[in-house]
């Protein structure tokens, strides 16, 4: 009963639309005496190439037996165009704030000392 199953690979985009990628019917021969034993098998599928940014989404693997259906947790893949530069201004903002606070601190100290005299 469980020696024949189907494997489905598909992608869900940001609108939760399924795009089928690949499917495969598997029929495993079961040797005599091994009928009631549990087996764990791996099936890999490489998705190549990711054509454009519309390939961004969560990729899933799903296995279906006659009466059972199991789905993986999915892997999110973000596809960017060629030449994309990640724009992160975290360090620039931190340095700017540090310099600004240092200048204000020195100015406030100088004003307090000048007013004291």
Rounded to two decimals, the pTM is 0.60
Query: Would you state the pLDDT for residue 106?
Result: 94
Does 2-77 carry CATH code 2.60.40.10? yes
Rounded Cα–Cα distance for residues 63 and 54 (Å): 25
Query: Would you state the pLDDT for residue 96?
Result: 92
Residues 48-94: tens digit of each pLDDT: 777 667 788 899 999 998 888 999 899 998 887 776 677 777 788 88
Residue labelled with tokens 């100088």: 110
| Mean pLDDT, rounded, for 4-14 | 89
**What residues does each domain of the chain span?**
2-77, 86-116
Q: What is the 3-state secondary structure (H, E, C) of the chain?
A: CCCEEEEEEEEECCCCCEEEEEEEEEECCCCCCCCCCCCCCCCCCCCCCCCCHHHCEEEEEEEECCCCEEECCCEEECCCCCCCCCCCCHHHHHHHHHHHHHHHHHHHHHHHHHHHC
pLDDT at 1 over 80: no
């Amino acid at each position: 009963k469980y020696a024949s199953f189907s494997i489905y690979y598909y992608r869900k985009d940001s609108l939760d639309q399924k795009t089928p990628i690949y499917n495969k019917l598997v029929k495993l021969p079961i040797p005599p005496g091994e009928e009631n034993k549990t087996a764990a098998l791996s099936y890999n599928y490489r998705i190549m190439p990711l054509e454009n940014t519309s390939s961004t989404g969560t990729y899933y693997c799903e296995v279906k037996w006659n009466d059972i259906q199991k789905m993986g947790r999915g892997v999110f893949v973000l596809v960017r165009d060629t030449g994309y530069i990640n724009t992160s201004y975290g360090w620039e903002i931190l340095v700017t704030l540090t310099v600004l606070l240092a200048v204000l601190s020195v100015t406030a100290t100088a004003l307090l000392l000048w007013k004291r005299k």
